[in-house]
Structure 1
Amino acid sequence: MAFLQTSADPRQAANPQDLTVDVVIIGAGPAGLTAGYLLTKAGKSVAIIEKDETYVGGISRTVEHEGYRFDIGGHRFFSKSRAVVDLWNEILPDDFISRPRMSRIYYEGKFYSYPLRAFEALRNLGLWRSAMCMASFARVQMFPRKQVKSFEDWTINQFGEKLYSIFFKTYTEKVWGMPCDEMSADWAAQRIKGLSLWGAVVDGLKRSLGLNKRPNNGMQAKTLLEEFRYPRLGPGMMWDAARDHVVAGGNSVLMGHALKQLASDGEGGWRLDAVTADGEERIIRARHAISSAPMRELAARLSPVPDAVLDASGLKYRDFLTVALKIRSDDLFPDNWIYIHDSKVQVGRIQNFRSWSPEMVPDASVACVGLEYFCFEGDGLWASSDDDLVALATREMEILGLARPEDVIGGTVVRQEKAYPVYDEDYAQRVAVMREELEDKHPTLHLVGRNGMHRYNNQDHAMMTAMLTVENILAGQRVYDTWCVNEDAEYHEAGSEGEQPAFPQHAGDAADRAAALSSMRAVPMPVSVRAETTSAPMRGRDAA
């Protein structure tokens, strides 16, 4: 077990293994390291604990295997927040490259644009299947489903059952692990915005008569992100640099240290007990504690046990794993990733790591791809051996017609637990109870990041929650409401980088809470939950 440790005497407790700092941070992901970097820059003493023994960055880490680098989840470095963009440039000033944005849908050997273009989809499906789609669409226009409760109801009413089964049902159920007829229709209406099958048909007829020269895609006009910046060695390069800045500033990043207990010291501060895999324990005392650990795990390790722990213990998460294959080929496809809309295979998405950055793949004659399987920790996929998963991925590449088994020359598996917070019937109340408990009783304990707040935050959203938390700590009061972050979920598809001001409005009370609640519905909710508020349209597949 290795860890990085400051040698500054004032920050050491009586036991040389223990630390006393201004702020202790749980988790070295984007949120935790952002907080650590900014606090170090402000001259504060900091200790960060990270359960992983090797990698920082959380889901934004870059895993290396035999010289090949894998982006876990796929991370486009694009944000509307000027403060986030400036911080990226500050931490990693010389290692960004510009990459073309390309994502497509793959179905039965053909590629379809993402976001989906209705006219193109009909053309690629062929005459007979397109006719069936249009007949299905016509049928539902005459006899729509009257009780629209689910994702399935809403989507079939919009596009007909045939197109729904091809382009919406399979992938959605793979990602979220729940049937489409159990997902709320509200989420469908937000997520599928601007796509009009009837508009595509009308435009197609006009084009055939020479009455319309505009591109026919059945979409409302959008300005899509065509390029994005990316660290040349993957997103982990950003977080390795942030860690190095923290350590260079005399602070600690303790790898292989898991949270055992976080206890109030009775005077507004905290005592954190961390433990390594071999049982070594370390105590860290701090005035403030910042947690990006899963809310469920934090609640279980708080002392004294809060009333909220029973609520938080019921929070759920969706997990996934990546099977990275090395394949003899110059390249397989130009996309950053492709979505697999095919029920014959279990894979949901395939990344092409060379399209992220050529430097991630050291051999020009070898393509390296990552097959992503969405699952729950402990289920059959998750529990499969690495060899079995590599064999499965190899078979599925052959089934899809993307690679021959004899061309696969190696593979490895990376598991990512708690990748997506689940929004079930009870999650909002569980989060609210935990939040109220901490804000009322423990103002020096701060929740940040995707899992820390149990919100479907993206990388820059997670960073912003940490940036505002640091502002609050330095100000000595709650100046900003971090729960207002993540109100614009469409930024990965449209808009200009850095167009928003550095920080949102100062924290109000009722208005801020209302904004936070309206921005929390970024993943599907069960039909039994009828939300009273809705958020901006979601482009969650580009925001992993």
Structure 2
Amino acid sequence: MHENETGKTGSNKEIVVDVAIIGAGPAGLTAGYLLTKAGKSVAIIEKDATYVGGISRTVEHEGYRFDIGGHRFFSKSQQVVDLWNEILPDDFIQRPRMSRIYYEGKFYSYPLRAFEALRNLGLWRSAMCMLSYGKAKVFPNKNVRSFEDWTSNQFGKKLYSIFFKTYTEKVWGMPCDEMSADWAAQRIKGLSLWGAVVDGLKRSFGLNKLNDGSGKQAKTLLETFRYPRLGPGMMWEAARDKIIATGKGQVIMGHALEQLASDGKGGWRMTATAEDGSRQVIRAKDAISSAPMRQLAARMHPLPETTLEASNLKYRDFLTVALMIKSEDLFPDNWIYIHDSKVQVGRVQNFRSWSPEMVPDEDVACVGLEYFCFEGDGLWSMADDDLVELAKKEMDILGLVSPGKVIGGAVVRQEKAYPVYDEDYAANVDAMRAELEDKYPTLHLVGRNGMHRYNNQDHAMMTAMLTVENIVAGERVYDTWCVNEDAEYHEAGNEGAEKTLPEGRKPVSEDQAAALNSVRDVPDRVAADKKKAA
């Protein structure tokens, strides 16, 4: 890595490296770390002036630490697990996994347990739920087009309205009768009220065993997970420090992408701008982008022919309102899902349950209320003080804590948290991907926003790991877009269960595919032809 004068008055020195990287999130930092290990020089730009990690960062406020969205460290890929251990060898703790549904003052297990749910609902409402379920079985909706149709057929209209409708609409910002039934079938496949009853009976009598003579329990959700003791940002701060310590890497904070220009020779000239207007110019043979595809397309030179398609990509945003409460912990869960239409909050995290070290005062509970929104809407645009007051009011409405016990609050906004899968997104992504791969083989897209895919942290890392292998090899050995969308639920099974195969130029190995297969689904809107047919 070396520097040349740009020759422009007041400009910074021009950095020349092997690889320029946009974004210091899990994908960008994984790429930077592995590239410097391989002897490559890198420069990473990050628009946040304080934190690395992107959505996986840990924000600190007066000694309290907030996990933005909640990040369990689990992967079926041994390569990913080994990399976590390499970057952060001494700071993982094992934590119990617990999350429940909160509805009208009562907690319900997640996933649902039929007997518990019916008992909590009370005799009259339970009877209505069973009658509604019976009606759905005898007279099912034969014109199934939406999430509402499909879920009502599976559980009955009453249970659907209690345990599916409110929360789903909060998260995705669209009515359930406009979400595709295909997404419901994928998201809740194999789950039914009768299945939950049978499972409850088996658990009650110890019959939840595999039918293979082993006597082992059938596969269920993880009961524990590993977690950095100071939050997920600890992992990415360590990765940043290791990159810098090699002497081959720079992480340039507080600089947003202004332009990524092709030099006409297969290389790149990247310009990044700070809030004060100062610029940093980076020249590199290869460029890696974890920036949103929409943003990247608008800032490339020359503009891609598919800039219009990229500009139509959409995102769902959210914000966390953290409250410090003079009280013992309100609940033991990592988070609870709020299935109540009286409030706007969708989920509440308990930061001490993630790690006791996230909360410095033993006499104070610290929770994070998560609000799903669109950037620029009413919630997003509210003043921080008003959001704290809203959170206090809603905790009071839910009966979880009285406002007088709240002794502090903070707000963290997360833009572009979830790529939106509308009816045109796949065609828009494919168009831009095809153009960039054809014209610019040294430009590599990685991570959730870089590829416009709602994926897990280990998937984002794996796309970066495969990209590094491609760069080192000097050709596209691996297809980083190989994602199986019909994968087993990400948090079932054993960590590192898939081992690395012998070296060979395969699209992906089984181990790499274990991370790639963990992609999560996002609801589509009901297709226009289905609406018309209805």
Aligned residues: 511
Please name the residue that 1:92 is paired with: 88
Distance 1:379 1:386 in 2: 14
Residue 233 (str. 1) matches residue 230 (str. 2): yes
Please name the residue that 1:314 is paired with: 312
Deviation at 1:198, TM superposition (A): 2.6
Please name the residue that 1:534 is paired with: none
Distance 2:378 2:498 in 1: 44
Deviation at 1:199, TM superposition (A): 4.0
The answer on whether the counterparts of 1:322 and 1:371 sit within 8 Å (CA) in structure 2 is yes
One-letter amino acid matched to 1:141: K
Deviation at 1:224, TM superposition (A): 1.9
Structural mapping, 1:475-490, within 5 Å:
475-485=473-483, 487=485, 489-490=487-488
The answer on whether the counterparts of 1:315 and 1:427 sit within 8 Å (CA) in structure 2 is yes
Q: 1:481 to 1:247 in 2, by over 3 A?
A: same
Distance 1:412 1:490 in 2: 37
Distance 1:425 1:32 in 2: 29
The answer on whether the counterparts of 2:51 and 2:57 sit within 8 Å (CA) in structure 1 is yes
TM-score by structure 2 length? 0.91
The answer on whether the counterparts of 2:292 and 2:450 sit within 8 Å (CA) in structure 1 is yes
The answer on whether the counterparts of 1:84 and 1:463 sit within 8 Å (CA) in structure 2 is yes
Please name the residue that 2:462 is paired with: 464
The answer on whether the counterparts of 1:19 and 1:285 sit within 8 Å (CA) in structure 2 is yes
Moved more, 185-194 or 35-44: 185-194
Please name the residue that 2:32 is paired with: 36
Deviation at 1:17, TM superposition (A): 2.0
Residue 49 (str. 1) matches residue 48 (str. 2): no
Runs of 4+ in 1 over 6 A off after TM superposition: 515-521
Structural mapping, 1:429-444, within 5 Å:
429-444=427-442
Per-residue displacement from partner, 1:463-513 (whole Å, max 9, x unpaired)? 00000000000011111110114657545431100112347984559xxxx
Please name the residue that 2:162 is paired with: 166
Q: 1:456 to 1:445 in 2, by over 3 A?
A: same
Q: 1:214 to 1:243 in 2, by over 3 A?
A: same
Please name the residue that 1:539 is paired with: none
The answer on whether the counterparts of 2:112 and 2:196 sit within 8 Å (CA) in structure 1 is no
Distance 2:425 2:37 in 1: 36
Distance 2:187 2:51 in 1: 33
Q: 1:273 to 1:144 in 2, by over 3 A?
A: same
Distance 1:404 1:258 in 2: 41
Distance 2:238 2:206 in 1: 49
TM-score by structure 1 length? 0.90
Please name the residue that 2:341 is paired with: 343
Per-residue displacement from partner, 1:375-402 (whole Å, max 9, x unpaired)? 0000000000001100000011111111
Residue 78 (str. 1) matches residue 77 (str. 2): no
The answer on whether the counterparts of 2:487 and 2:519 sit within 8 Å (CA) in structure 1 is no
Please name the residue that 2:2 is paired with: 11
Q: 1:248 to 1:529 in 2, by over 3 A?
A: farther
The answer on whether the counterparts of 2:487 and 2:517 sit within 8 Å (CA) in structure 1 is no
Deviation at 1:516, TM superposition (A): 13
Distance 1:516 1:84 in 2: 8
Give the secondary-structure state (helix, strand or coil) at the position aligned to 1:12.
Answer: strand
The answer on whether the counterparts of 1:483 and 1:516 sit within 8 Å (CA) in structure 2 is no
Give the secondary-structure state (helix, strand or coil) at the position aligned to 1:483.
Answer: coil
Identify which of 295, 299, 302 aligns with 1:301. 299
Distance 1:339 1:76 in 2: 16
Please name the residue that 1:404 is paired with: 402
Distance 2:464 2:198 in 1: 48
Please name the residue that 2:177 is paired with: 181
One-letter amino acid matched to 1:467: M
Identify which of 63, 76, 85 aligns with 1:67. 63
Deviation at 1:517, TM superposition (A): 12
Identify which of 398, 420, 426 aligns with 1:428. 426
Give the secondary-structure state (helix, strand or coil) at the position aligned to 2:470.
Answer: helix
Q: 1:82 to 1:486 in 2, by over 3 A?
A: farther
Please name the residue that 1:452 is paired with: 450
Q: 1:347 to 1:427 in 2, by over 3 A?
A: same
Deviation at 1:215, TM superposition (A): 7.0
Q: 1:102 to 1:520 in 2, by over 3 A?
A: closer
Deviation at 1:138, TM superposition (A): 1.3
Deviation at 1:11, TM superposition (A): 1.4
Distance 1:213 1:39 in 2: 50
Distance 1:74 1:238 in 2: 14
Distance 1:268 1:530 in 2: 44
Give the secondary-structure state (helix, strand or coil) at the position aligned to 1:167.
Answer: helix
Per-residue displacement from partner, 1:330-364 (whole Å, max 9, x unpaired)? 21100000000000100000000000000010000
Deviation at 1:121, TM superposition (A): 1.1
The answer on whether the counterparts of 1:184 and 1:529 sit within 8 Å (CA) in structure 2 is no
Please name the residue that 2:391 is paired with: 393
Distance 2:59 2:496 in 1: 28
Give the secondary-structure state (helix, strand or coil) at the position aligned to 2:4.
Answer: coil
Distance 1:310 1:126 in 2: 54
Distance 2:362 2:399 in 1: 22
Give the secondary-structure state (helix, strand or coil) at the position aligned to 2:156.
Answer: helix
Deviation at 1:124, TM superposition (A): 1.4
Distance 1:119 1:169 in 2: 21
Please name the residue that 1:248 is paired with: 245
The answer on whether the counterparts of 1:335 and 1:352 sit within 8 Å (CA) in structure 2 is yes
Distance 1:496 1:92 in 2: 20
Give the secondary-structure state (helix, strand or coil) at the position aligned to 2:409.
Answer: strand
One-letter amino acid matched to 2:154: Q
Residue 146 (str. 1) matches residue 131 (str. 2): no
Please name the residue that 2:129 is paired with: 133
Per-residue displacement from partner, 1:218-246 (whole Å, max 9, x unpaired)? xx953220110000000000000000011
The answer on whether the counterparts of 1:11 and 1:45 sit within 8 Å (CA) in structure 2 is no
Q: 1:33 to 1:508 in 2, by over 3 A?
A: closer
Structural mapping, 1:82-121, within 5 Å:
82-121=78-117
Distance 2:439 2:58 in 1: 38
Please name the residue that 1:499 is paired with: 497
Runs (5+) with no aligned partner, structure 2:
7-11, 210-216, 509-513
